[in-house]
Amino acid sequence: MKSSIAVVVLAAGAGTRMKSALPKILHPLAGWPMLRHVLDNVGRLKPGRIVGVISPGAAAVAAAFAPHRTVVQKRPVGTGDAAKAALGALKGHRGPVLVVFGDAPLVTAASMQRLVAACRKEEAAVGVLGFIARDPSPYGRLIVHRGQLERIVESKDADEAEKAIDFCNSGVMCLDGRLIDALLGGIGNDNAKREFYLTDAVVAARAAGHKAIAVDGEEGEFQGINSRAELAVAERALQDRLRAAAMATGVTMTDPETVWLAADTRLAADVTVGPCVRFGLGVTVASNVEIKAFCDIEGARIGRGAIIGPFARIRPGSEVAEDVHIGNFVELKATRMGRGAKANHLAYLGDADIGARSNIGAGTIAVNYDGYGKWRTVVEAEVFVGSNSALVAPVRIGKGANVTAGSVITEDVPAGAVAFGRARQTTNKGRAALLRAKLKARAAAAKRTKKKTTK
């Protein structure tokens, strides 16, 4: 039986180029901290243990690694030294040790698995994921001879011939757990930066008569993130990946580049998404849903056959049942819409339960906040709420009731009742001209007063 793998995630970098109080690896991509993407990807390999290497005092980073163990690299003197910091946490492990970086969230589980499998097959002490770079200048070069990886040369240490090589180091490395102490112990700091490079494990392995190999990968996976600009590039790359995955499972996007997904967005087959739609974290959409242009949805479940938008906002805690219509400029917050319910125009429904087949008229507001607490509005099934109504919570509208347009409802409405909650209209014939003259004179007087006070 093959030994399980262990994973070491190097996450002790300072991230100073991000210009942020937030640790670099906690900056979000598709709604998740980039470290979570790394942990999610390595987790797909089902490792026996995951160890994070962090800097001193990085409590927030340690918390993000939980429940996995973290160790501290006391001084920032290179990746080789960082990997050595993990040796105590790897004690007793005899299988492959995969070393990855916390700021490289685009490396896929499939690529890492290919590296581990190749190391096992070739019985290699060291394996490295490499790629052909369009611009190799920032990267370490992989020096391969007769199928064997001889060494990795950092860009600053490369001579002219080595700089011409375009097969580059991704930073992802697999080490034989039985040899890892000796391999890391053989790393020195005789280089331009006087640091202990993990890449020198290749030379240590070859010097001891062991095999080292390089495995090809795709350049797009190996983008590190050191600045806000690189974060934006990674976001776009990840979005392209998420969109492609969604469309491969039967989702239609009329303008994919304008649709923004979260890492955990779940769209069923035969969902149609219009242009300029954003999904935040925690969204699940059932089949045959149409989401029209310019919608913003977060923390919500959308039921089969619903129609959303355009210009709708659905906020966390909302549940939209089958065949619901949420129209233009309608906002839901922690609201449950029953099957077949409709809110087609210009409504705010916060902390509300809207029953099946009820209709919410244009301009309706569920008045959920009194300045101190938030309260629920309950609208039972088959209720008609007229336009421009205010439902002042806590309030309940009974089944089959009718709320007339322009009403302010402050008391419960029994089932089947008609509720009027507005002032009686008064009409004074022939008075419009007099009213206009009065208002005009008042405005002129106010203007003269203002002019005197500014002299």
* Active site residue ranges: 345
The CA distance from 122 to 209, in Å, is 14
**Do residues 45 and 98 make contact, with C-beta atoms less than 8 angstroms apart?**
yes
The CA distance from 376 to 140, in Å, is 60
The CA distance from 419 to 441, in Å, is 40
Cβ atoms < 10 Å from Cβ of 46:
9
Cα angle 415, 420, 423 (rounded to 5 degrees) comes to: 165
The CA distance from 218 to 130, in Å, is 8
Instruction: For tokens 């569920």, name the residue.
Output: 366
The CA distance from 290 to 313, in Å, is 14
Query: Percent helix, strand and coil across the chain, each rounded to 5?
Result: 25, 30, 45
Answer positive or negative: Cα dihedral of 101, 102, 106, 110: positive
Determine phi and psi for 96, rounding to 5 degrees: -65, 145
Instruction: For tokens 């190799």, name the residue.
Output: 136
- DSSP characters over 58-113: -HHHHHHHTTSEEEE-SS---HHHHHHHTGGGGTT--SEEEEEETT-TT--HHHHH
* Integer CA distances (angstroms), 104 to 24, 56, 239, in order: 11, 21, 15
**Do residues 76 and 175 make contact, with C-beta atoms less than 8 angstroms apart?**
no
